[in-house]
Amino acid sequence: MKKILEVRNLTKIHGRGCPQCIDSTGPEADTNICPHCGSVVAAYGVSFDLHAGEILGIMGESGSGKSTVVKTLYFDDAPSAGEAIVFDEARQWNLFALNAAEQRWLRNHRLGMVYQNPHLGLNFNVSAGGNIAERLLMSDLAHYGEIRERARRLLARTEVLPERMDESPKKFSGGMQQRVQIAKALATQPPLLYLDEVTTGLDLSVQARILDLILEIQQELNTAMIVVTHDLGVIRLLAGRTIVMKYGRIIESGLTDQILEDPQHAYTQRLVASAL
Amino acid sequence: MNPNYELPLDEADYSFGFLDEFAKREVRRTILKAISIPGYQTPYASREMPMGRGFGTGGLQLTLSLIGQDDTLKVIDQGSDDSVNAVNLRHFVELTCPGVNTTERTTEATLIQSRHRIPEVDLTESQVLILQVPYPDPLVVVEPSEAKRKVMHGEGDYSRLLTKLYEDIVQFDEITISHRYPTRINGHYVIDPSPIPRYDVPRLYRSKALILLGAGREKKIYAVPPYTVTEPLAFDDVPFRTEDFRDANGHRRACGRCGATDSFLDELIAEDGSKAWQCSDSDYCNQRLAELAQEVSA
C-alpha cells in the first residue's frame, strides 16, 4: 500500500515550556499542565503513518490533543517540534519546513478539512455554491461555467439540493451545513482529508447519513482520512486503524476491532466499557 | 520652544510646495519604491494638509512633492476642471508653488492630478497622472484585518475577491462593480485603481504615462509604471466589459454638447426630469467644440 502521510514525534506546547514539562505531564501524571511552568502540553511524541484510501481514527476525551494533531497537519496551528511528510504523486512535502505560500498551495490542492463547527469551514457571507467556488478559485480554476458545474455536481453528490446552491448556508440545517463543508473539502479531490468531530451535535439519523456519505466517498475516490472523534460508534463504523490519546500522548494504537474488543490500556478499557 | 525665538526671515515663509523638504523627500522615496514594486501599497507618513483627509490629500502630497517651477499642472475632479475640488486644489498649488503654470488643457500639462477619471486624450511619456484614492486596498471588502490582507497580497491570494465576482454573476448575471474595479498589475498585486469608472480601466494597460495613486487618509502610495501590463479580474468565460452607453435601441449615445460618441458620458437630469448626456471630460468636450467651430468658419 502507498504511504500518504508520515508523522513523527509531533509536539505542541502552549506556553513558554521548561525542561521538566514532558516528564511531569501525560497520562501517568494525570495532567497536561506542567506544574513547574504552567505550560500546556497539548501533544507530545505523536507518531503514525497513513496509507492511501485508509481511514485512521483518533479517539480521546476533550483536551486529549486529538484536534491539535489535525490542526497542525492542516497548518491551522504551528507545532513546537516534530516532522510530518505528505507523499504526493511526484514529490514529498515536509509539512513543517514549507513557507507560507507552499503551505497555502498544499492546503488548497492536496488537503481537505471538515470542522466540527461549520462556521470555521464555511464563509457564511457567500452562498453555498460560492463557498465551493472559493476553494476551486484557490486551486486556480477561473472558468465561471465550469466552477458552477462542479459546485452543482459536488452538492448533488453530498445530497444538498442543487436548487439551494445559491442560498447562504445560514439558512441551512446543521446537517446540511456539514454536507456543504464536506462538498467544499472535496472540491479539489484531495488525496488526504481531515474530519474533526464532523457528526458531533447532529441528531442520530443525520449522523448516520453523513457517516454513510463519508464511507461512500472513501470507496469512490480512495481518499485517505483522519477522523477525530470521541464517539466510539463513529470509530467503529469508519476507522480501520485507531489511535487512542490521553493528555497529549498516544496511549494505544492498532486495528480498530482489536482496540474495541481487547483494549490493553486501563483508560481505553474504561472508555470502551462505559460506552458499550 | 523659546517664546523669544524668531524664525530667520528666509525660513519664515512656507517652502516651495507647502511641504517641508524632509516631507517631500520621504514622499519621493516612497514613490520610487512604489514604482519599483508595481501595484504594491507602499506606506508613507501622510502629512497633515490644510484640508480634511479624504479631500485629495494623498494626491496633493504627491503633486507637491513632484512639482517644479517648469511644470504645468492640470487638476481634474470627475473629469471637470471647474468643480469645487479641482478649483481649490489648483488655487492651493498656485499659492504655494509660485512660478508654476496651471492649465486646463490635457495635452499641455506635465502633471495631472485627477479625482476619479483618466483624461480622454491618450497621455504621453512626458506626463505623470496622479490619482486621488479614498480606499487603496481592494481586499477590504472581503477581509477586515489589515495584517491578513498584507499576507494575502504577498501571496497573491485573491480567490476571495473572485468569489465576490462569482456571487455577483450568480445574483445579477453580471459583475456589478461600477468603479474601483480590482485590477492586477504586472501579474501579481491587485490594486484598487481609485474610483475610476470601468470605462477607464483598460486605459491603465501599458499606459505611456506614469500613473501614481495616493491615499492620504490611508497613508499609502502605489504606482502603475509606464508600459505595465494591467488586467482587470474576471473569469475565463465572463470577460471584463466596460460601460457602452447604449440606449434602449442599442445606439451609442452622443454627448449633447459636442456630439462625441467616443467618450465617457455623464447623465444629467434636468429639472423637468428629462435626461441628457454630456462628456465627463470637460477639456475634451471644449476642444471638440473649438474644432467644430473652426471647421464651420473655414
Q: Minimal Cα distance from B166: which residue of A?
A: A130
Q: Cα-flanking dihedrals φ and ψ of residue B14, to 5°?
A: -70, 150
**Contacts with A148 from chain B: Cβ below 8 Å:** 170
- Do B159 and A134 count as a contact with CB atoms less than 8 A apart? yes
Which residue type, as a one-letter code, is found at position B237?
A: D
Among residues B202, B232, B262, which one ends one of the domains? B232
Q: Is residue B157 part of a domain?
A: yes
Q: Is residue B86 part of a domain?
A: yes
What DSSP character marks residue A85? E
What DSSP character marks residue B247? -
Question: How close, in Å, is residue B172 to chain A by CA atoms?
Answer: 12
**Contacts with A145 from chain B: Cβ below 8 Å:** 237
Q: Is residue B83 part of a domain?
A: yes
**Contacts with B157 from chain A: Cβ below 8 Å:** 104, 138
pLDDT attached to residue B10: 55
Q: Please count the residues of chain B.
A: 298
Q: Is residue B192 part of a domain?
A: yes
Asked about B97 being catalytic, the answer comes back as no
Q: Cα-flanking dihedrals φ and ψ of residue B170, to 5°?
A: -60, -45
The residues that bridge with A33 in the sheet, in sequence order, are A40
Q: Which of A123, A124, A126 to mutate to test the interface with B (most CBs of B within 10 A)?
A: A126
Q: Is residue B3 part of a domain?
A: no
- Same domain as B259, residue B178: no
Q: Minimal Cα distance from B156: which residue of A?
A: A101
| CATH number, domain with residue B133 | 3.40.50.11310
Domain that includes residue B209, residue range: 9-141+150-232
- Do A126 and B151 count as a contact with CB atoms less than 8 A apart? no
- Do A130 and B235 count as a contact with CB atoms less than 8 A apart? no
Please give the grid coordinates belonging to residue B77. Answer: 475632479
Long-range contacts of A84-88, Cβ-Cβ distance < 8 Å, separation of 24 or more: A84/A5, A84/A6, A84/A7, A84/A8, A84/A10, A85/A5, A85/A6, A86/A4, A86/A5, A86/A110, A86/A111, A86/A192, A87/A2, A87/A3, A87/A4, A87/A5, A87/A6, A88/A191
> Strands of B190-191's sheet, edge to edge?
B190-191, B183-185, B230-232
Taking the CA atoms of B190, B192, B198 and B200 in sequence, report the sign of the dihedral they define: negative
Among residues B211, B232, B253, which one ends one of the domains? B232
Q: Minimal Cα distance from A124: which residue of B?
A: B142
- Do A126 and B235 count as a contact with CB atoms less than 8 A apart? no
A237-264, pLDDT tens digit by residue? Answer: 999 999 999 999 999 999 999 999 999 9
**Contacts with A100 from chain B: Cβ below 8 Å:** 151, 154-155
pLDDT attached to residue A48: 94
- Do B159 and A127 count as a contact with CB atoms less than 8 A apart? no
Q: Cα-flanking dihedrals φ and ψ of residue B199, to 5°?
A: -55, -35
- Same domain as B269, residue B137: no
Residues of chain A falling short of pLDDT 50: none
Tally of domains in chain B:
2
pLDDT attached to residue B2: 63
- Same domain as B197, residue B95: yes
- Same domain as B197, residue B297: no
What DSSP character marks residue B290? H
Residue B60 CA to residue B214 CA, distance in Å, equals: 8
- Do A126 and B171 count as a contact with CB atoms less than 8 A apart? no
pLDDT attached to residue A276: 54
- Same domain as B29, residue B163: yes
**Strand runs (DSSP E) across chain B, as ranges?**
42-43, 72-77, 101-102, 111-115, 128-132, 183-185, 190-191, 210-215, 220-224, 230-232, 265-269, 275-279
Place of cell 476553494: A135
Taking the CA atoms of A122, A125, A127 and A133 in sequence, report the sign of the dihedral they define: negative
- Minimal CA–CA distance to B65: which of B133, B121, B111, B3? B111
Please give the grid coordinates belonging to residue B208. Answer: 505611456
Q: A57 CB near a chain B CB, below 8 Å?
A: no
**C-alpha count within 13 angstroms, C-beta hemisphere, residue A219:** 6
- Same domain as B275, residue B158: no
- Do A137 and B163 count as a contact with CB atoms less than 8 A apart? yes
- Do A133 and B157 count as a contact with CB atoms less than 8 A apart? no
Q: B173 CB near a chain A CB, below 8 Å?
A: no
- Same domain as B280, residue B254: yes
**Contacts with B169 from chain A: Cβ below 8 Å:** 144
pTM tops 0.90, yes or no: no
Q: Is residue B185 part of a domain?
A: yes
DSSP string, A51-74: ETT-EEEEEE-TTSSHHHHHHHHT
CB A208 within 8 A of CB A159: no
pLDDT attached to residue A194: 94
Q: Which of B39, B58, B79, B214 is catalytic?
A: B39
**Contacts with B151 from chain A: Cβ below 8 Å:** 100
pLDDT attached to residue B222: 97
- Same domain as B193, residue B270: no
- Same domain as B251, residue B226: no
Among residues B174, B198, B232, which one ends one of the domains? B232
- Same domain as B172, residue B265: no
Please give the grid coordinates belonging to residue B75. Answer: 487638476
Residue B198 CA to residue B177 CA, distance in Å, equals: 8
Q: Is residue B4 part of a domain?
A: no
Tell me the C-alpha to C-alpha distance, in Å, between residue A192 and each of A65, A182, A222, A252, B238: 20, 13, 9, 23, 32
Using CB atoms and an 8 Å cut-off, which of residues 164-203 of chain A contact chain B?
166
Tell me the C-alpha to C-alpha distance, in Å, between residue A25 and each of A21, A29, A38, A250, B272: 6, 5, 11, 13, 82
- Same domain as B218, residue B90: yes
Please give the grid coordinates belonging to residue A146. Answer: 465550469
So what's the ipTM on this one? 0.84
Q: What is the full per-residue pLDDT of chain B (298 aa) written as tens digits?
A: 467 766 554 555 778 888 988 899 999 999 999 999 999 999 999 999 988 888 899 999 999 999 999 999 999 999 999 999 999 999 999 988 888 999 999 999 999 999 999 999 999 999 999 999 999 999 999 999 999 999 999 999 999 999 999 999 999 988 889 899 999 999 999 999 999 999 999 999 999 999 999 999 999 999 999 999 999 999 999 999 999 899 889 899 999 999 999 999 999 998 999 999 999 999 999 999 999 999 888 7
Residue A9 CA to residue A82 CA, distance in Å, equals: 5
The SS3 assignment for A42 reads strand
- Same domain as B190, residue B49: yes
Cβ burial of B266 (10 Å; 0-12, 13-18, 19+) is: middle
Q: Is residue B298 part of a domain?
A: yes
**Strand runs (DSSP E) across B119-274, as ranges?**
128-132, 183-185, 190-191, 210-215, 220-224, 230-232, 265-269
